Structure 1
Amino acid sequence: MGVLSDYFRAADAASVVQALEQADGGSPLFTKPPVFDGVEAKGVDPAVVLAQLIAAIRQVEWRVDLVEETTVWPASPSPDPDGPADDDDPWVTGPWVSELHLPARDALAGVRDCDIPAAVARWVRAEELQGARCEDMQPLAEELVLLARRARSADERLYCWMSL
């Protein structure tokens, strides 16, 4: 089972929560018309795979806190970790939405176009992307960079919608 993930930009968490409530938690990229400007990025979770791209851009080692995020959906508190798991619980299957902290947005937005191919070449060497090819991953990296640039220009935040 893969993780579905969509990245999008929005002015604030309140507008994201409002859009998700209207879409019953569905991705804001697949409403008609789409609520937010975004990129479909199946399997690219913020903490590991996107963080691997940011590490490649910054030319640093990946670390667990490289992409910090704050959960904005579901708005209810997470269940007791010692309690029984319920497959109908949104904390188990999603969807979840997190707001990426500004350093992640700014790292993506700040990469020079001429440096993207080298960053992608480093990114695809990540264990989580085993078997990925540069020519397949570069368009996604470019889309994420452009999305981050639009978010920064509009003084917006980046968000990630995920579901199993």
Structure 2
Amino acid sequence: MLEQTDGGSPLFAEPAVFDGVEAKGVDPSVVLAQLIAAIRQVEWRADLVKETTVWPSSPAPVGPISPADEDDPWVTGPWVSELHPPARDTLAGVRDGEVPAIVARWVRAEELRGARVEDMQPLAEELILLARRAQDAGELLYCWMSL
């Protein structure tokens, strides 16, 4: 599980319910997709990391949000999405020796402006190891997000 928030998720339960990585601010469609683009050595595009929302399981609200929607989990979260297997497989396929060069490309992304390789490399390594464990177990990656 890719964790984007401080606490409250199964990742922070004692004992942890899921294997995961705390990755606050690493949303799948932009920042994680920038990492995938750096690994594949391609330009970032919006569909590079495909995901399917698995929570909330109710239909998303249609139209503008009103005060009556304040208890709707689509408004308040948390939200969980399942990342499609190519993202997991791309991460899992990275060789350890390639990580520094990949991270050097990743930190050039506009969304990571000011980030340093030495600060982002541990996160990339954790994501790669998580993806390997998921792939070895025949599992998918999920992203838990909340406000």
Same fold, judged at TM 0.5 (above): yes
SS in 1 for 2:97: helix
Query: Which residue in 2 is equivalent to 1:81?
Result: 63
SS in 2 for 1:76: coil
Give every structure 1 segment of 4 or more consecutive aligned residues whose post-TM-superposition deviation is greater than 6 Å.
none
Structure 1 segment 96-135 matched on structure 2, within 5 A: 96-135=79-118
Alpha-carbon distance between aligned partners in 2 of 1:121 and 1:102, rounded to the nearest angstrom = 24
Q: Does 1:6 align with 2:9?
A: no
Residue segments in structure 1 that go unaligned for 5+ positions in a row: 8-25
Query: Which residue in 2 is equivalent to 1:141?
Result: 124
SS in 2 for 1:29: helix
Change (3 A) 1:129 1:87: farther
Q: Of 54, 58, 62, which aligns to 1:72?
A: 54
Alpha-carbon distance between aligned partners in 1 of 2:113 and 2:145, rounded to the nearest angstrom = 21
What TM-score, normalized to structure 1? 0.82
Alpha-carbon distance between aligned partners in 2 of 1:74 and 1:84, rounded to the nearest angstrom = 18
Query: Which residue in 2 is equivalent to 1:17?
Result: none
What is the aligned-residue RMSD (CA, Å)? Answer: 1.5
Query: Which residue in 2 is equivalent to 1:53?
Result: 35
Query: Which residue in 1 is equivalent to 2:133?
Result: 150
Alpha-carbon distance between aligned partners in 1 of 2:9 and 2:62, rounded to the nearest angstrom = 26
Q: Of 6, 23, 26, which aligns to 1:41?
A: 23
Alpha-carbon distance between aligned partners in 2 of 1:93 and 1:47, rounded to the nearest angstrom = 20
Deviation string, structure 1 residues 16-50 (Cα, Å, up to 9, x no partner)? xxxxxxxxxx4110111110110000000000000
Alpha-carbon distance between aligned partners in 2 of 1:102 and 1:126, rounded to the nearest angstrom = 23
Residue segments in structure 2 that go unaligned for 5+ positions in a row: none
What TM-score, normalized to structure 2? 0.91
Offset at residue 80 of structure 1 (A) = 1.1
How many residue pairs get aligned? The number is 142
Alpha-carbon distance between aligned partners in 2 of 1:93 and 1:60, rounded to the nearest angstrom = 35
Offset at residue 87 of structure 1 (A) = 4.2
Counterpart amino acid of residue 6 in structure 1: E
